[in-house]
Amino acid sequence: MTHTIQPNNPEITPAPDAADLPAATPAPRSTAPAVPAALKRRIPKYADLAPLMQFKKPEFSKEARLKRASTIWELRDIAKRRTPQAPFDYTDGAAEEEITLRRAREAFLDIEFRPGILRNVSSIDLTTDILGKPSRLPVGIAPTGFTRMMQSEGEYAGSQAAEAAGIPYTLSTMGTASIEDVAAAAPNGRNWFQLYLWTDRDRSLELIERAAKAGNDTLMVTVDTAVAGARLRDVRNGMTIPPALTVKTVLDASYRPAWWFNFLTHEPLTFASLSRYTGTVADLINSMFDPTLTFEDLDWLRETWKGKLVVKGIQTVEDARKVVDHGADGIVLSNHGGRQLDRAPIPFHLLPEVKEAFTKDNSDAAIILDTGIMSGADIVAALALGADFTMIGRAYLYGLMAGGRAGVDRTLQILEKDMARTMALLGVSSISELTPDHVRLLNK
């Protein structure tokens, strides 16, 4: 039975009968309203002040410093203060005028989320499957070269943090920890190996066999480095491997002693998967990597590698389809973090077109996206527009430079919290509920 409740308006009263009206009396003089007790000034009492005086002892530990960072950008600020210019710029910089990198960031900024309301979001599930196995979060750690140059724990910190978080970790061919050492450091982690195909195929085959023997279930071949991009920050900094001690670097070290102490008191920095090399990064790439690669080489890889095969560096719909036709189990939409071809396509913009093409082809190849991701909201947007998974490079390295293994852990904590909050506010409780309707591209 429905009950109707009439509103009670104290300003409306029934008109009285004329007989009930009192004799006319003079109108009273107007008086100022009384001041509420809460607005009267008084001398504060100690009992009122005591709860407000929550003075804490200043904390300067690494743990406290990392805990105060609430975003990846704040981790970047810490990293910049604690890392010499050359390794920081190697991470932070990109090719030529760095237009691609700026556009990649702007792509994530120029979106509008479209939330649903009145959904049960009391529990948020961030788990997903990628390349046949579960991942606790929809993000993995991308391959990065020279990682122990950023901070001495390097690949060991990254692989162990990924293992603890239940996500994949990808070791680079140009890493500073070996395939075997990473497998030993994170024996229960899901370890992938990233391969640059060399002109010397026997050397490539040796790496592939080592990766398989060490338990790597996925091989990620990078195909966008026929030659080195013009990374001008590295040129200006005289970036070499290992870093050279010049007057400039010594002065730079004077107010970053912790980095240099770690660098000088740990094993010398080398390419763990390569023979010893001394020279610039560009010289290494130009002398070692093969500019004659074709799709026939991808066929050779498919025949040689028995695990999952992913091709990284896809920048057109046509190439996305073609590498799948040649046996790839997944692709990484990536422009190498803006570090190769400046003004390259932006992976986030390309994503809907690739998703549409794969749907038309009835392809179940995984679509992974990197470049420009700096928050959990960026990851959620990519998943909504069709990505199956994402990868972070700079974001993880900022955490590494800010605090080693603990800094990488903090990176993943920040991203996880961001993702959970964004999904709850969108009105979805699991990744499978995300659709393109949740995101609108504003300025594409």
Alpha carbons within 13 angstroms on the beta-carbon side of residue 131 total: 26
If you average pLDDT over residues 244-268, what whole number do you get? 75
Q: What is the pLDDT of residues 384-439, one digit of tens each?
A: 999 999 999 999 999 999 999 999 999 999 999 999 999 999 999 999 999 999 99
| Distance from C-alpha of 32 to C-alpha of 407, rounded to nearest angstrom | 61
For 243, the token pair is: 């870093």
Cα three-residue angle 215-218-223, rounded to 5 degrees: 135
Rounded Cα–Cα distance for residues 12 and 244 (Å): 87
Instruction: For Cα atoms 441, 321, 231, give the angle at the middle one, nearest 5 degrees.
Output: 65
Q: What is the pLDDT of residue 19?
A: 54
Contact 110, 194 (CB under 8 A): no
Q: How far is CA 29 from CA 23, 25, 56, 266, in A?
A: 18, 12, 56, 88
Whether 336 is catalytic is: yes
pLDDT digits (tens, 9 = 90+) for 190-230: 999 999 887 778 888 999 999 999 999 999 999 988 777 88
Tokens encoding 54: 């929550």
Phi and psi at residue 195, to the nearest 5° = -120, 130
Read off the pLDDT of residues 138-152 as tens digits, 9 standing for 90 and up.
999 999 988 998 999
The tens digit of pLDDT for each residue in 30-88 reads 677 888 888 888 888 888 777 777 777 777 688 888 999 999 999 999 999 999 988 89
Choose between 91 and 242: higher pLDDT.
91
> d(Cα 301, Cα 293) in Å, to the nearest integer?
12
How far from 321 is each of 177, 229, 314, 344, CA to CA, in Å?
Answer: 34, 25, 10, 19
* Catalytic member of 3, 266, 336, 438: 336
Rounded to a whole number of angstroms, the distance between the first and last alpha carbons of the chain is 54
- Residue 292: pLDDT above 60? yes
> Strands 133-135 and 128-130, how do they pair?
antiparallel
Is the pLDDT reported for residue 15 higher than 80? Answer: no
Sign of CA dihedral 254, 256, 258, 259: negative
pLDDT tens per residue, range 326-354: 999 999 999 999 898 999 999 999 999 99
Are the C-beta atoms of residues 298 and 328 closer than 8 Å to each other?
yes
What is the average pLDDT value for the chain, to the nearest integer? 88
Judge whether 282 and 189 are in contact, CB under 8 Å.
no
